[in-house]
Amino acid sequence: MSRRRNIVAGNWKMNKDYEEGRSLARDIVAKLQPSDTLVILGAPYIHLKGVSHIISDINNLHLSAQNCHQEEGGAYTGEITAEMLSSVGCEYVILGHSERREYFGEDDTLIAAKIKRAQAAGLTPIFCCGEKLPSREAGEQEAVVGQQVKEALFGFSAEEVSKMVIAYEPVWAIGTGVTASPAQAQEMHAYIRGLLREQFGEEVADGMSILYGGSVKPANAEELFSQADVDGGLVGGASLKAEDFLAIIASM
């Protein structure tokens, strides 16, 4: 079973060319303070190998992809397998991000298949879930997130789930500058952990890292991360500037 860790993961999305990505990784390496916080860089596919060379000597710094295909290989033009990611030093993969759900039609059945493939390739999935604004306004956020968690994760064993990371990312807070309040984040994280406890038991639930994502910034990170069930953050926009990302890590 995995031990609950504090994690700050950056999601660069479709930003930065190769040299800009390497330069960002170098800046982070140069100023990252040693700590127990696990730091993950979610780079575009094409940057992964180059970034892995830059971060390979740093203990708590790891590499993530932002997606992978659910099959082991074959005639899927333009796609990338989980095994390919492992082969370039990638250890994590973000799966089920709301942008994948929204723009690429990914649902929880597909996401579960991707998680399975990722684990088979030795990757740690970072499973993303979160409700859209109308659901929040209707007070249905727990029903929506609960369904995502159940559909994507409840087909796995306790052992398999214990080797995942979960990111709660309310869609209304992603890239909008609007952040969930610490109380809203805590409430949902506690709800997710409660679901995990019911299905997989106390040990798994207590050992899982549940990250908050959605306009995390240096100014709000500390208060969010200080919540009992918030074990860190998945950071989009603010992960593109070394200074901001490092400040967020430091507030862990």
Work out which of 17, 107, 175, 226 binds ligand PEP, going by CB under 6 A: 175
For the chain, the farthest-separated pair of C-alpha atoms sits apart, in whole angstroms, at 48
CB of 175 vs ligand PEP, minimal distance in Å: 4
Indicate the residue whose CB is closest to ligand PEP: 236
Work out which of 21, 207, 213, 232 binds ligand PEP, going by CB under 6 A: 213
**CA-closest candidate to residue 131, choices 165, 168, 176:** 168
Per annotation, catalytic residue among 62, 69, 97, 189: 97
- Per the annotation, the verdict on 151 as an active-site residue is no
CB contact at 8 A, 160 and 124: no
CB contact at 8 A, 172 and 132: yes
Q: Please report whether residue 232 would count as binding ligand PEP according to CB under 6 A.
A: no
Work out which of 51, 236, 242, 252 binds ligand PEP, going by CB under 6 A: 236
Work out which of 216, 224, 230, 252 binds ligand PEP, going by CB under 6 A: 216
Per annotation, catalytic residue among 99, 106, 131, 169: 169
**Nearby residues of 66 by Cβ (< 8 Å), 6 or more positions away:** 11, 12, 13, 42, 43, 44, 45, 93, 94, 97
**CA-closest candidate to residue 67, choices 30, 37, 24, 103:** 103
CB of 168 vs ligand PEP, minimal distance in Å: 10
Q: Which residues pair with 11 in a beta bridge?
A: 42
- Per the annotation, the verdict on 223 as an active-site residue is no
* Residue 98 to residue 114: CA distance in whole angstroms: 15
Work out which of 130, 146, 207, 237 binds ligand PEP, going by CB under 6 A: 237
Binding site for ligand PEP (CB under 6 A): 11, 169, 174-175, 213-216, 234-238
Which positions are catalytic?
Answer: 97, 169
